[in-house]
Structure 1
Amino acid sequence: MLEAIENLALANYLRRDIFAYPIVNGLHILSLGMLVTSALLMDPRVLGAGRRVPLGAAIAVLRPVAIGALGVAVTTGALLFSVRPSQYAGNPVFLTKLGLIGLALANAGVFVLGRKLLAPESATTRLLAAASILFWILAVFAGRAIAFFGGS
Protein backbone atom coordinates (compact mmCIF):
# COMPACT_ATOMS: atom_id res chain seq x y z
CA MET A 1 0.00 0.00 0.00
CA LEU A 2 2.86 2.40 0.81
CA GLU A 3 4.35 1.75 -2.61
CA ALA A 4 1.00 2.55 -4.24
CA ILE A 5 0.86 5.85 -2.35
CA GLU A 6 4.41 6.68 -3.40
CA ASN A 7 3.54 5.97 -7.04
CA LEU A 8 0.53 8.28 -7.14
CA ALA A 9 0.74 10.93 -9.84
CA LEU A 10 0.45 13.70 -7.24
CA ALA A 11 3.33 12.24 -5.19
CA ASN A 12 5.48 12.07 -8.32
CA TYR A 13 4.57 15.66 -9.15
CA LEU A 14 5.56 16.82 -5.65
CA ARG A 15 8.93 15.08 -6.00
CA ARG A 16 9.62 16.51 -9.48
CA ASP A 17 8.32 20.08 -9.41
CA ILE A 18 10.74 22.63 -8.00
CA PHE A 19 7.96 24.69 -6.38
CA ALA A 20 5.25 22.19 -5.43
CA TYR A 21 6.86 20.48 -2.44
CA PRO A 22 8.15 23.72 -0.84
CA ILE A 23 4.72 25.33 -1.25
CA VAL A 24 2.92 22.36 0.30
CA ASN A 25 5.52 22.20 3.07
CA GLY A 26 5.14 25.93 3.74
CA LEU A 27 1.34 25.62 3.85
CA HIS A 28 1.71 22.71 6.27
CA ILE A 29 3.91 24.74 8.60
CA LEU A 30 1.62 27.80 8.38
CA SER A 31 -1.49 25.74 9.11
CA LEU A 32 0.21 24.03 12.04
CA GLY A 33 1.23 27.44 13.34
CA MET A 34 -2.37 28.64 13.14
CA LEU A 35 -3.69 25.48 14.76
CA VAL A 36 -1.20 25.42 17.62
CA THR A 37 -1.43 29.17 18.18
CA SER A 38 -5.23 28.91 18.39
CA ALA A 39 -4.91 26.13 20.95
CA LEU A 40 -2.25 28.03 22.88
CA LEU A 41 -4.56 31.04 23.05
CA MET A 42 -7.66 29.09 24.07
CA ASP A 43 -6.07 26.82 26.66
CA PRO A 44 -4.48 29.51 28.87
CA ARG A 45 -7.85 31.30 28.79
CA VAL A 46 -9.45 28.10 30.11
CA LEU A 47 -6.73 28.05 32.78
CA GLY A 48 -7.72 31.55 33.86
CA ALA A 49 -5.45 33.87 31.88
CA GLY A 50 -6.91 36.86 30.08
CA ARG A 51 -10.15 37.00 32.04
CA ARG A 52 -11.12 40.25 30.32
CA VAL A 53 -12.12 38.16 27.31
CA PRO A 54 -15.09 35.91 28.09
CA LEU A 55 -14.19 32.25 27.64
CA GLY A 56 -17.12 31.62 25.29
CA ALA A 57 -16.07 34.55 23.08
CA ALA A 58 -12.47 33.36 22.92
CA ILE A 59 -13.53 29.87 21.94
CA ALA A 60 -16.10 31.17 19.43
CA VAL A 61 -13.40 33.14 17.61
CA LEU A 62 -10.50 30.69 17.86
CA ARG A 63 -12.16 27.28 17.40
CA PRO A 64 -13.14 27.87 13.73
CA VAL A 65 -9.58 29.03 13.02
CA ALA A 66 -8.22 25.88 14.66
CA ILE A 67 -10.64 23.61 12.78
CA GLY A 68 -9.84 25.22 9.42
CA ALA A 69 -6.12 25.06 10.10
CA LEU A 70 -6.46 21.40 11.11
CA GLY A 71 -8.11 20.64 7.76
CA VAL A 72 -5.27 22.30 5.85
CA ALA A 73 -2.63 20.62 8.06
CA VAL A 74 -4.12 17.16 7.52
CA THR A 75 -4.41 17.69 3.76
CA THR A 76 -0.89 19.06 3.34
CA GLY A 77 0.49 16.48 5.77
CA ALA A 78 -1.01 13.68 3.66
CA LEU A 79 0.56 15.20 0.56
CA LEU A 80 3.96 15.43 2.25
CA PHE A 81 3.59 11.84 3.49
CA SER A 82 2.90 10.67 -0.08
CA VAL A 83 6.38 11.72 -1.21
CA ARG A 84 8.16 9.17 1.05
CA PRO A 85 5.55 7.00 2.75
CA SER A 86 7.90 4.06 3.40
CA GLN A 87 10.38 6.29 5.23
CA TYR A 88 7.72 8.03 7.28
CA ALA A 89 5.79 4.87 8.16
CA GLY A 90 8.94 3.37 9.67
CA ASN A 91 10.02 6.54 11.46
CA PRO A 92 9.37 6.34 15.23
CA VAL A 93 9.46 10.13 15.56
CA PHE A 94 6.81 10.52 12.83
CA LEU A 95 4.67 7.90 14.55
CA THR A 96 5.17 9.71 17.85
CA LYS A 97 4.03 12.97 16.20
CA LEU A 98 0.89 11.26 14.90
CA GLY A 99 0.24 9.78 18.34
CA LEU A 100 0.60 13.19 20.00
CA ILE A 101 -1.75 14.77 17.47
CA GLY A 102 -4.21 11.94 18.11
CA LEU A 103 -4.00 12.59 21.85
CA ALA A 104 -4.44 16.35 21.32
CA LEU A 105 -7.51 15.79 19.12
CA ALA A 106 -9.01 13.24 21.51
CA ASN A 107 -8.39 15.67 24.35
CA ALA A 108 -10.14 18.43 22.37
CA GLY A 109 -13.06 16.08 21.75
CA VAL A 110 -13.36 15.32 25.47
CA PHE A 111 -13.20 19.05 26.20
CA VAL A 112 -15.95 19.88 23.68
CA LEU A 113 -18.21 17.04 24.84
CA GLY A 114 -17.45 17.59 28.51
CA ARG A 115 -17.83 21.35 28.39
CA LYS A 116 -21.58 21.03 28.80
CA LEU A 117 -21.08 18.77 31.82
CA LEU A 118 -18.04 20.36 33.44
CA ALA A 119 -17.79 23.72 35.14
CA PRO A 120 -15.43 26.10 33.30
CA GLU A 121 -13.26 26.37 36.41
CA SER A 122 -13.26 22.67 37.33
CA ALA A 123 -10.05 20.75 37.92
CA THR A 124 -10.93 18.42 35.03
CA THR A 125 -11.38 21.33 32.64
CA ARG A 126 -8.04 22.79 33.73
CA LEU A 127 -6.35 19.41 33.35
CA LEU A 128 -7.71 19.08 29.81
CA ALA A 129 -6.41 22.58 28.93
CA ALA A 130 -2.97 21.84 30.39
CA ALA A 131 -2.83 18.50 28.56
CA SER A 132 -3.74 20.26 25.31
CA ILE A 133 -0.86 22.70 25.70
CA LEU A 134 1.54 19.83 26.38
CA PHE A 135 0.32 17.62 23.50
CA TRP A 136 0.45 20.40 20.88
CA ILE A 137 3.89 21.64 21.91
CA LEU A 138 5.29 18.10 21.94
CA ALA A 139 3.72 17.42 18.53
CA VAL A 140 5.47 20.49 17.09
CA PHE A 141 8.82 19.39 18.52
CA ALA A 142 8.30 15.85 17.23
CA GLY A 143 7.44 17.24 13.80
CA ARG A 144 10.66 19.19 13.67
CA ALA A 145 12.66 16.18 14.92
CA ILE A 146 11.45 14.08 11.96
CA ALA A 147 14.05 15.79 9.77
CA PHE A 148 16.81 14.38 11.96
CA PHE A 149 15.49 10.82 11.84
CA GLY A 150 15.10 10.02 8.15
CA GLY A 151 12.37 12.43 7.00
CA SER A 152 12.36 16.03 5.88
Structure 2
Amino acid sequence: MTALLAWLAETPLADWVRLSRWGYGILNALHVLGIALLVGAIVALDLRLLGWQHRLALTPLARLLQPVAITGLLLALATGGLLFLADPPGYAAMPLFWLKLTLIVLAIANALALNLGPGLANASPRRLRLAGALSLALWVAVLATGRFLAFV
Protein backbone atom coordinates (compact mmCIF):
# COMPACT_ATOMS: atom_id res chain seq x y z
CA MET A 1 0.00 0.00 0.00
CA THR A 2 2.84 2.38 0.85
CA ALA A 3 4.40 1.86 -2.58
CA LEU A 4 1.09 2.59 -4.32
CA LEU A 5 0.58 5.78 -2.31
CA ALA A 6 4.13 6.92 -3.06
CA TRP A 7 3.63 6.19 -6.77
CA LEU A 8 0.34 8.16 -6.79
CA ALA A 9 2.09 11.11 -5.14
CA GLU A 10 4.71 11.15 -7.91
CA THR A 11 2.36 11.10 -10.91
CA PRO A 12 2.19 14.15 -13.17
CA LEU A 13 -1.46 14.63 -12.19
CA ALA A 14 -0.50 14.70 -8.50
CA ASP A 15 2.21 17.25 -9.29
CA TRP A 16 -0.35 19.39 -11.11
CA VAL A 17 -2.80 19.23 -8.20
CA ARG A 18 -0.09 20.04 -5.68
CA LEU A 19 1.93 22.63 -7.62
CA SER A 20 -0.40 24.27 -10.11
CA ARG A 21 -1.25 27.87 -9.41
CA TRP A 22 -4.95 27.19 -10.04
CA GLY A 23 -5.33 23.40 -10.01
CA TYR A 24 -6.00 22.76 -6.35
CA GLY A 25 -8.24 25.81 -6.01
CA ILE A 26 -10.36 24.89 -9.04
CA LEU A 27 -10.70 21.29 -7.87
CA ASN A 28 -11.62 22.45 -4.38
CA ALA A 29 -14.27 24.82 -5.74
CA LEU A 30 -15.75 22.04 -7.90
CA HIS A 31 -15.69 19.70 -4.89
CA VAL A 32 -17.66 22.24 -2.86
CA LEU A 33 -20.12 22.65 -5.75
CA GLY A 34 -20.61 18.87 -5.88
CA ILE A 35 -21.19 18.76 -2.13
CA ALA A 36 -23.66 21.64 -2.35
CA LEU A 37 -25.66 19.91 -5.09
CA LEU A 38 -25.60 16.60 -3.24
CA VAL A 39 -26.42 17.82 0.24
CA GLY A 40 -28.91 20.46 -0.88
CA ALA A 41 -30.95 17.89 -2.77
CA ILE A 42 -30.54 15.16 -0.16
CA VAL A 43 -31.57 17.35 2.79
CA ALA A 44 -34.75 18.41 1.01
CA LEU A 45 -35.60 14.81 0.11
CA ASP A 46 -34.68 13.49 3.56
CA LEU A 47 -36.88 16.06 5.26
CA ARG A 48 -39.76 14.94 3.04
CA LEU A 49 -39.04 11.30 3.94
CA LEU A 50 -39.20 12.32 7.60
CA GLY A 51 -42.69 13.69 7.04
CA TRP A 52 -42.05 17.40 6.52
CA GLN A 53 -44.24 18.91 3.81
CA HIS A 54 -46.08 15.60 3.48
CA ARG A 55 -48.53 17.25 1.08
CA LEU A 56 -45.79 17.26 -1.56
CA ALA A 57 -45.97 14.05 -3.56
CA LEU A 58 -42.85 12.01 -2.87
CA THR A 59 -42.32 10.39 -6.28
CA PRO A 60 -42.23 13.60 -8.37
CA LEU A 61 -40.08 15.31 -5.74
CA ALA A 62 -37.61 12.40 -5.78
CA ARG A 63 -37.64 12.41 -9.59
CA LEU A 64 -36.55 16.06 -9.42
CA LEU A 65 -34.02 15.85 -6.59
CA GLN A 66 -32.33 12.48 -7.04
CA PRO A 67 -30.60 13.35 -10.36
CA VAL A 68 -29.29 16.55 -8.76
CA ALA A 69 -27.97 14.56 -5.79
CA ILE A 70 -26.38 11.94 -8.05
CA THR A 71 -24.71 14.65 -10.17
CA GLY A 72 -23.38 16.27 -7.01
CA LEU A 73 -22.16 12.94 -5.67
CA LEU A 74 -20.31 12.09 -8.89
CA LEU A 75 -18.72 15.54 -9.03
CA ALA A 76 -17.69 15.36 -5.36
CA LEU A 77 -16.26 11.86 -5.76
CA ALA A 78 -14.29 12.75 -8.88
CA THR A 79 -12.86 15.96 -7.48
CA GLY A 80 -12.29 14.37 -4.07
CA GLY A 81 -10.23 11.66 -5.71
CA LEU A 82 -8.15 14.27 -7.48
CA LEU A 83 -7.72 16.31 -4.29
CA PHE A 84 -6.49 13.13 -2.59
CA LEU A 85 -3.54 13.22 -5.01
CA ALA A 86 -2.23 16.35 -3.27
CA ASP A 87 -0.94 14.11 -0.45
CA PRO A 88 -1.87 10.40 -0.77
CA PRO A 89 0.38 9.16 2.07
CA GLY A 90 -0.76 11.97 4.36
CA TYR A 91 -4.48 11.41 3.79
CA ALA A 92 -4.15 7.63 3.98
CA ALA A 93 -2.48 7.96 7.39
CA MET A 94 -5.40 9.91 8.85
CA PRO A 95 -8.13 7.89 10.62
CA LEU A 96 -10.51 10.80 9.99
CA PHE A 97 -10.08 10.34 6.23
CA TRP A 98 -11.01 6.65 6.51
CA LEU A 99 -13.98 7.58 8.70
CA LYS A 100 -15.18 10.00 6.02
CA LEU A 101 -14.89 7.34 3.31
CA THR A 102 -16.73 4.83 5.50
CA LEU A 103 -19.55 7.30 6.14
CA ILE A 104 -19.86 8.00 2.40
CA VAL A 105 -20.10 4.28 1.64
CA LEU A 106 -22.77 3.87 4.35
CA ALA A 107 -24.76 6.84 3.05
CA ILE A 108 -24.68 5.51 -0.51
CA ALA A 109 -25.61 2.01 0.73
CA ASN A 110 -28.58 3.48 2.61
CA ALA A 111 -29.86 5.19 -0.55
CA LEU A 112 -29.34 2.08 -2.65
CA ALA A 113 -31.06 -0.13 -0.08
CA LEU A 114 -34.16 2.04 -0.24
CA ASN A 115 -34.22 2.66 -3.97
CA LEU A 116 -33.24 -0.82 -5.10
CA GLY A 117 -35.21 -2.50 -2.33
CA PRO A 118 -38.82 -1.50 -1.86
CA GLY A 119 -38.39 1.79 -3.71
CA LEU A 120 -39.80 5.10 -2.59
CA ALA A 121 -43.31 4.32 -3.83
CA ASN A 122 -43.58 0.94 -2.08
CA ALA A 123 -41.71 1.55 1.18
CA SER A 124 -43.65 1.82 4.40
CA PRO A 125 -43.81 5.22 6.10
CA ARG A 126 -41.61 3.79 8.87
CA ARG A 127 -39.01 2.62 6.34
CA LEU A 128 -39.04 6.04 4.64
CA ARG A 129 -38.56 7.83 7.97
CA LEU A 130 -35.72 5.50 8.93
CA ALA A 131 -33.97 5.95 5.57
CA GLY A 132 -34.40 9.73 5.74
CA ALA A 133 -33.09 10.00 9.30
CA LEU A 134 -30.12 7.76 8.57
CA SER A 135 -29.31 9.63 5.36
CA LEU A 136 -29.51 13.00 7.06
CA ALA A 137 -27.27 11.86 9.93
CA LEU A 138 -24.72 10.21 7.63
CA TRP A 139 -24.39 13.13 5.21
CA VAL A 140 -24.07 15.65 8.07
CA ALA A 141 -21.33 13.43 9.53
CA VAL A 142 -19.61 13.31 6.11
CA LEU A 143 -19.70 17.12 5.97
CA ALA A 144 -18.30 17.42 9.49
CA THR A 145 -15.45 14.97 8.91
CA GLY A 146 -14.63 16.65 5.61
CA ARG A 147 -14.36 20.03 7.26
CA PHE A 148 -12.30 18.63 10.14
CA LEU A 149 -9.89 17.08 7.61
CA ALA A 150 -9.02 20.57 6.42
CA PHE A 151 -7.84 21.54 9.91
CA VAL A 152 -6.05 18.46 11.27
TM-score by length of 2: 0.92
Equivalence for 1:13: 16
Deviation at 1:62, TM superposition (A): 0.5
Equivalent residue runs for 1:3-152 within 5 Å: 3-116=6-119, 119-149=122-152
Give the distance between the partners of 1:117 and 1:130, measured in 2 at CA. 15
TM-score by length of 1: 0.92
Does the CA-based 8 Å contact 1:2-1:85 persist in structure 2?
yes
Give the distance between the partners of 1:125 and 1:63, measured in 2 at CA. 15
Q: Per-residue CA shift, 1:31-80, capped at 9, x if unaligned?
A: 11110111101111111112232100110000011111111111100000
Deviation at 1:122, TM superposition (A): 2.6
Deviation at 1:29, TM superposition (A): 1.0
Q: Aligned to 2:31, what secondary structure does the other structure show?
A: helix
Q: What residue identity is the alignment partner of 2:109?
A: A
Deviation at 1:148, TM superposition (A): 2.2
User: Number of residue pairs matched?
Assistant: 149
Q: What residue identity is the alignment partner of 2:93?
A: G
Q: Aligned to 2:150, what secondary structure does the other structure show?
A: helix
Q: What residue identity is the alignment partner of 1:140?
A: L
- How many percent identity over aligned positions? 38
Does the CA-based 8 Å contact 1:35-1:65 persist in structure 2?
yes
**Runs ≥4 residues deviating over 6 A:** none
Deviation at 1:81, TM superposition (A): 0.3
Deviation at 1:102, TM superposition (A): 0.7
Q: What residue identity is the alignment partner of 2:31?
A: H
Does the CA-based 8 Å contact 1:118-1:125 persist in structure 2?
no
Q: What residue identity is the alignment partner of 2:137?
A: L
Q: What residue identity is the alignment partner of 2:65?
A: L
Does the CA-based 8 Å contact 2:114-2:120 persist in structure 1?
no
Contiguous gaps of at least 5 residues in structure 2: none
Does the CA-based 8 Å contact 2:110-2:135 persist in structure 1?
yes
Deviation at 1:115, TM superposition (A): 3.0
Deviation at 1:18, TM superposition (A): 1.1
Does the CA-based 8 Å contact 1:42-1:58 persist in structure 2?
yes
Q: Per-residue CA shift, 1:106-135, capped at 9, x if unaligned?
A: 000111022349744431221111000000
Backbone CA RMSD of aligned residues:
1.5
